[in-house]
Amino acid sequence: MLVRLMYASRAADSVNADALAAILKRSKENNPKVGVTGVLCFCANAHIFLQVLEGGRLAVSALYNRISQDPRHHDVALLSYEEIGERSFSHWSMGQVNMSRLNPALVLKYSEGTVLDPYAVSGQASLALFNELVATASIGVQV
């Protein structure tokens, strides 16, 4: 049984480009071993992470539980969880949305303002925004 989970969190003050690279490196090493794919989006101006994890129910739950304990972020909030027939992000053990190419109009489409705030909108809106981000922004760190 495949599931898709999406969460948001606030990055710790210490999170910078090097910390982000370290998270992505470890994700690329670990995720293929447990059949998890997904995309991580770091919004630098709001200092917020959005991540989608896809894979088997147990693998996704175990990884989410581990990630939620990570001191590099806090206020981890589950936005969406669903059983799925197929993956949307099967090409990436953990892709990274390039936020430098994020169009503020896209955030505005799903929010009250142009600053990304997944805590203030529905999980459905965040997932829709995320899907558009992935379609329109470039994705790095492919595997």
Ligand X SMILES: Cc1cc2nc3c(=O)[nH]c(=O)nc-3n(C[C@H](O)[C@H](O)[C@H](O)COP(=O)(O)O)c2cc1C
> Binding to ligand X by residue 63, rule CB under 6 A?
yes
Q: Using the rule CB under 6 A, which residue among 3, 6, 8, 31 binds ligand X?
A: 31
Q: CA-CA distance, 90 to 68, in Å (whole number)?
A: 22
CB of 63 or CB of 129, closer to ligand X: 63
Least Å distance, CB 143 to ligand X, is 12
CB of 57 or CB of 66, closer to ligand X: 66
How many other CB atoms are found less than 10 A from the CB of residue 38?
24
CB of 78 or CB of 108, closer to ligand X: 78
Q: CA-CA distance, 134 to 21, in Å (whole number)?
A: 19
Q: Using the rule CB under 6 A, which residue among 16, 21, 25, 26 binds ligand X?
A: 26
> Binding to ligand X by residue 23, rule CB under 6 A?
yes
Q: CA-CA distance, 46 to 48, in Å (whole number)?
A: 5
Q: Nearest CA to 141 among 106, 91, 107, 66?
A: 91
Least Å distance, CB 108 to ligand X, is 25
- What Cα–Cα distance (Å) separates residue 36 from each residue in 21, 43, 109, 116? 18, 22, 30, 26
> Binding to ligand X by residue 94, rule CB under 6 A?
yes
Which residues make up the interface to ligand X (CB under 6 A)?
Answer: 23, 26-27, 30-31, 40, 49, 51, 63, 66-67, 70, 72-73, 94
